[in-house]
């Protein structure tokens, strides 16, 4: 028997502000269908980094649910996003996940496309058919400080406000002059919202992440962290790092912009970066002049948080699979000139966030098991879960008024 469609109006009316979401938000197929249409296919997604497209003809595939996008650099240096769907009978055009090519050729009937997506050749196609209308369909892309973002929306939101507010803050880190040191995917048997909520609060950190809590004070009450942040200000200024606080998520975001936020906070004394001992892990990023003993949280969209230290960056991707399954991809970025074995040790670089993400997987899956119970009721957020509440409030805005009137 088909699962009954929930009345979104009734579901939303039961939500109590300042509390977690009701069970159906995590378990109902129609809610997940809403998430696909109104969140995943409308938000911006981090697809990769320009360092992956160093040469003309370089490409990689970005996969999201049923969609596949060819991200490539053409002969003029332009970056394109192209739907990986042949305009003949719909076959996937690109099969290999990455590579270099002069053009894309469909493996089914050999229709060939130029790097900009225009049709190059279609065997036996009648001459009266307009070939200019049979190119691969373009997918919106935007390069933001070296990171390539993709949106499936017909009218994607604009990065103008992000460039205005974040360019002066991010430029010293030189994120466009980094490269991928390593990437790992961690499957999680849970709804995607539980992954995002977990990332957005450190109320659980002291219990679940003792290694993280030795270097990052974010598990403490705000009034205990504030003096450390104030002491960091002078160090940050000396290193050329700005400490602006920006919150443009949910009701605070500008019109026609994606969610974005930035915050820099102090690590514990003696920690230059997010390492096991506090010592440096890799060469300094960008134009930074030294270690201020801080870390930056950066959000571009709700599914793409980043953590920027002075010598490396850790990029999270939350990947929905279905209502019950998700994945966390972690990407470690280092200076473009850094060489493994000479400038950084890969195991030391990965240690903290690999360990932390494995622990997160366990607690999130147990969270999902509890949410599935008939005894689950949404509890209140505490002050240390303010950012989790911010995410929930932003997510609820995806339910348009015409859906709940």
More confident residue, 10 or 185: 185
Average pLDDT over residues 392-397: 95
Domain identity same for 220 and 116: no
pLDDT of residue 5: 59
Q: What integer is the mean pLDDT of 138-163?
A: 98
CB 186 within 8 A of CB 357: yes
310 and 170 within one domain: yes
**Is residue 11 one of the residues assigned to a domain?**
no
The pLDDT value recorded for residue 220 is: 77
Residue 59 shares a structural domain with residue 204: no
Q: What is the pLDDT of residue 404?
A: 42
**Which whole-number Å values give the CA distances from 228 to 242, 262, 296, 396, in the listed order?**
16, 18, 14, 34
Q: Which of 195, 218, 384, 205 is nearest to 303 (CA)?
A: 195
146-157 pLDDT per residue, tens: 999 999 999 999
Mean of all residue pLDDT scores within the chain: 95
Give a yes or no: residue 27 inside a domain.
no
**What is residue 241's predicted lDDT score, i.e. its pLDDT?**
98
pLDDT at 400: 73
- Rounded (5°) CA angle 251-257-263: 70
Number of domains observed in the structure of the chain: 2
Q: For position 405, what pLDDT does the model report?
A: 40
Share of the chain above pLDDT 90, in %: 94
| Distance (Å, whole) CA 231 – CA 233 | 6
Q: What is the CA radius of gyration of the chain?
A: 22
> CB-based burial of residue 384 (10 Å sphere; 0-12 exposed, 13-18 middle, 19+ buried)?
middle
3-class SS at 114? coil
Q: State the angle between helix axes of 346-371 and 192-199 in degrees (0 to 180), rounded to the nearest 10.
A: 120
As given in the structure block, the two tokens for residue 113 are 């496309």
Q: What is the DSSP string of 148-170?
A: EEEE--SSPPPSHHHHHHHHHHH
CATH number for the domain spanning 105: value is 2.102.10.10
Strands 79-83 and 260-266, by their bridges, are unpaired
**Residue range 100-113, pLDDT digits in tens:** 999 999 999 999 99
Q: Which domain covers residue 50, as residue numbers? A: 44-141
pLDDT tens readout for residues 234-290: 999 999 999 999 999 999 999 999 999 999 999 999 999 999 999 999 999 999 999
Residue 352 pLDDT level (bands cut at 50, 70, 90): very high
Residue 301 has pLDDT above 60, yes or no: yes
Q: How many Å apart are CA 391 and CA 398, to the nearest integer?
A: 11
Last residue of a domain, one of 141, 173, 204: 141
Residues 119 and 250 in one domain: no
Residue 320 lies in a domain: yes
Comparing CA positions, the residue from 265, 276, 370 lying closest to residue 309 is: 265
In terms of domains, do 193 and 265 share one? yes
Give residues with Cβ within 8 angstroms of 130, minimum separation 6. none
Q: What CATH number is given to the structural domain containing 251?
A: 3.90.380.10
Which pTM does this prediction carry? 0.95
* Residue 87 and residue 222 share a domain: no
| pLDDT of amino acid 223 | 78
Same domain, 113 and 169: no
The domain boundary residue, chosen from 112, 141, 170: 141
Cβ 333 vs Cβ 175: under 8 Å: yes
What are the φ and ψ backbone dihedral angles of 66, each rounded to 5 degrees? -90, -5
Host H or E run for residue 205:
helix 205-208
Statement: residue 1 has pLDDT above 50: no
d(Cα 146, Cα 180) in Å, to the nearest integer? 11
What are the beta bridge partners of residue 80?
Answer: 72
- pLDDT score at 4: 52
User: Is 252 within the bounds of a domain?
Assistant: yes
- Report if residue 25 sits inside a domain: no
What confidence tens digit (pLDDT) does each residue in 186-195 have? Answer: 999 999 999 9
Same domain, 320 and 248: yes
pLDDT of residue 6: 64
């Amino acid at each position: 028997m088909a699962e009954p469609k929930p009345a979104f109006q009734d579901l939303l009316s039961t939500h109590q502000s300042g509390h977690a979401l009701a069970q159906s938000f995590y378990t109902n197929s129609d809610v997940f269908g809403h998430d696909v249409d109104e969140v995943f296919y409308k938000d911006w997604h981090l697809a990769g980094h320009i360092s992956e497209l160093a040469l003309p003809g370089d490409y990689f595939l970005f996969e999201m649910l049923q969609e596949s996008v060819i991200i490539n650099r053409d002969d003029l240096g332009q970056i394109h996003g192209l739907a990986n769907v042949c305009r003949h009978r719909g076959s996937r055009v690109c099969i290999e996940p990455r590579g270099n090519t002069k053009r894309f050729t469909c493996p089914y009937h050999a229709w060939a496309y130029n790097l900009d997506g225009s049709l190059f050749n279609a065997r036996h196609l009648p001459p009266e058919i307009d070939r200019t209308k049979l190119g691969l369909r373009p997918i919106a892309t935007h390069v933001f400080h070296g990171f390539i973002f993709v949106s499936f929306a017909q009218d994607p939101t604009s990065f103008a406000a992000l460039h205005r507010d974040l360019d002066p803050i991010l430029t010293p880190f030189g994120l466009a002059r980094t490269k991928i040191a390593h990437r790992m995917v961690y499957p999680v048997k849970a709804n995607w919202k539980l992954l995002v909520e977990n990332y957005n609060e450190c109320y659980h950190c002291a219990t679940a992440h003792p290694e993280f809590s030795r270097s990052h004070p974010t598990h403490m009450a705000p009034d205990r962290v504030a003096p450390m942040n104030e002491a960091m200000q002078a160090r940050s200024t000396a290193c050329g790092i700005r400490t602006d606080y920006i919150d443009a998520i949910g009701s605070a975001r500008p019109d026609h912009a994606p969610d974005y936020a930035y915050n820099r906070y102090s690590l514990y004394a003696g920690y230059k970066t997010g390492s096991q001992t506090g010592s440096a892990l890799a060469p300094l990023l960008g134009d930074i002049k030294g270690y201020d003993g801080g870390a930056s949280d950066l959000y571009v969209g709700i599914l793409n948080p980043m953590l920027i230290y002075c010598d490396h960056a850790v990029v999270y991707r939350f990947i929905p699979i279905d209502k019950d399954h998700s994945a966390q991809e972690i990407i470690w970025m280092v200076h473009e000139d850094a060489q493994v074995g000479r400038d950084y040790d890969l195991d030391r670089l990965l240690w903290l966030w690999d360990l932390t993400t494995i622990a997160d997987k366990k607690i999130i899956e147990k969270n999902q098991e509890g949410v599935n119970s008939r005894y689950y009721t949404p509890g209140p957020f505490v002050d240390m879960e303010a950012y989790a509440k911010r995410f929930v409030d932003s997510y609820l805005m995806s339910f348009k008024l015409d859906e709940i009137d």
